Amino acid sequence: MQRAQGLGNETCGILWTMTRGALLVAIGAIAALVGPGIATCRAASAQAPSPDPPGSASAIFAGGCFWCMEPPFDEQAGVLSTTSGYTGGSLANPTYEQVSAGGSGHVEAVRVVYDPQRIGYAELLEVFWRNIDPLDGGGQFCDRGESYRSAIFVRSAEERRLAEASMQAIAERLGHAVATRIRDAAPFYAAEDYHQDYYRKNPIRYRFYRGGCGRDARLRKLWGEGAGH
């Protein structure tokens, strides 16, 4: 687990067991120790994203905390952008508070805009699988509940075919039924600005959350050297 200066093993042990919400409260309370750059959260309705640039395509994946799903896609050659947001529910323009409270039907997800001439949908699926726990149907890592469940949102018959084939391969590799769902794409609403590129804007807080949630440890256990990060 990544630790900030001045935090002992006992504090880190407490952080390890916390959900994201509790971690953010705890880390905010010790902001003086971890330095500047901590985002201030503000309530605002989510917005529909801009259309895809000409010649590009987009894919939507839900893998628990959307902060943690941006980096593995951002580092792929051919990925043009990632956007954290909400999808799968019936509530238009939801806020983070509404989604995290449950009952909206939405999950946290990332919209990946990519150049299909440089990276294919099948490759994006591989990135997705290696950054989630596909055996967990109740959330992801320390984040529990409907808004953190994993899913692949498909826009076409071809995407569904590729997603189903990849899911079968993952089930065979892990020797267990996969809990991740394949769902028809639904309206995607970009999350509030403070959630976008969170790992870049607030690297210390992000590392605390990611380590405290047990994400990397579980990914290594599932995927070994091929685990996401």
Distance (Å) of CA 204 to CA 3, 12, 20, 132, 201: 8, 14, 14, 22, 9
Q: Where are the chain's structural domains? A: 42-198
Best CA proximity match to 64, nearest among 156, 132, 154: 132
pLDDT tens-digit series, residues 211-220: 999 999 999 9
Residue 65 annotated as catalytic: yes
Query: What is the per-residue DSSP string for 130-156?
Result: TTS-TT-SSEETTEESGGG--EEEE-S
Predicted structure pTM score: 0.81
Residues facing residue 86 across a β-bridge: 108, 189
Name the phi and psi angles at 106, rounded to 5.
-80, 155
pLDDT tens-digit series, residues 103-131: 999 999 999 999 999 999 999 999 999 99
CATH superfamily of domain region 42-198: Peptide methionine sulphoxide reductase MsrA (3.30.1060.10)
Mean pLDDT of the chain: 85
pLDDT tens-digit series, residues 32-87: 444 444 333 334 556 666 678 889 999 999 999 999 999 999 999 999 999 999 99
Selected catalytic residue, list 65, 68, 142, 213? 65
